[in-house]
Amino acid sequence: MVTIKFNSLIILAISATLLLRISTATAQLSTNHYSTSCPRALFTIKAAVLKAVAKERRMAASLLRLHFHDCFVNGCDASVLLDDTSSFTGEKTAGPNNNSLRGFDLIDSIKSDLESLCPGIVSCADILAVAARDSVAAVGGPFWAVPLGRRDSTTASLDAANTDIPSPVMDLPDLISAFSNKGFSAKDMVALSGAHTIGQARCTVFRDRVYNETNIDTSFARTRQTNCPRNSGSGDNNLAPLDLKSPTFFDNSYYKNLVNKKGLLHSDQVLYNGGSTDSLIESYSKNPEAFNDDFVAAMIKMGDISPLTGSNGEVRKNCRRVN
């Protein structure tokens, strides 16, 4: 084995180059990126999202989750949308995604509309970011200006999808570490976790919590057990709302649930279990405005994870495959 040692000056130079590359990419995102090149882009995305959410409220959570699962794997580059081919393996079959992520057909439909309006202009990565924002707003959550100008990747990473996306069975230290690896503080993590105020989870990911954990309201556990049999393999895909109180409305009830030991996932309840994030959970449970503000800040920060800009990547014609 050959050991290569870098002196501190070289390391500093490399670090400075990486920081410059990241800051330059982030600076290239702009909220008015399509104002001239495709002025009806945002309206087109919003109209499609509103129509889909009106038809099925759950779609709001699905689109928000798509954006999250995209950004946590090598940045917000629409890699999550790529289908497998005979020579290429995408991220859709990764553990956190397989038979779980939804909304791909809606993204295809939006992309098709945008290609008719302004061919080759609006990236799939930007569609995901805007659709996530519009989904939150459509079910009562905050609205924010989304920085735009991302381009789409020509690659994907099944391995990173399996390792980088936080697991619903993680304990607090592991969650903090997983988010820290992407540049998030514990506060950012708690705010982003508030996305679980909408959406549903499968029995297979909360079975152990409702049968075996003690930091759970007993009545709540019994309620969830009725649709989630104890034995693995039975009812694995049965769904339960992540937020017991208002499952299709974006509010701060998620945090109230945690205070009352009614978090559905293990990774939810560990945020309020005598640890360092307890005070923030209590604050958000009492102050929905503070939650909304911090959620928006964290979402914008998430959308800035390693974007492809300039001549990097491409603007896909079809979100499922490279050009």
Mark the binding-site residues for substrate, compressed into ranges.
166
The closest of 283, 231, 285 to 262, measured between CA atoms, is: 285
Which segments are annotated as binding site?
70, 73, 75, 77, 79, 91, 166, 196-197, 243, 251
Nearest one of 78, 85, 127, 137 to 106, comparing CA atoms:
127
Look up tokens 């109180």; give the residue: 245
Burial of 185-206, coded b for 16+ CB within 10 Å and e otherwise, reads: ebebbbbbbbbbbbbbbbbbbb
As a 3-state breakdown, the chain gives helix, strand, coil percent values, each rounded to 5, of 50, 5, 45
Annotated binding site for heme b: 196
What does the alpha-carbon distance between residue 65 and residue 51 come to, in Å, rounded to a whole number? Answer: 18
What 10-15 contacts at long range (C-beta under 8 Å, 24+ apart), as own/partner pairs, is none
- Give the Cα separation of 1 and 135 in Å (integer): 52
DSSP, res 86: T
> Of the residues 33, 67, 69, 266, which is catalytic?
69
Is 266 marked active-site?
no
Active site residues: 69
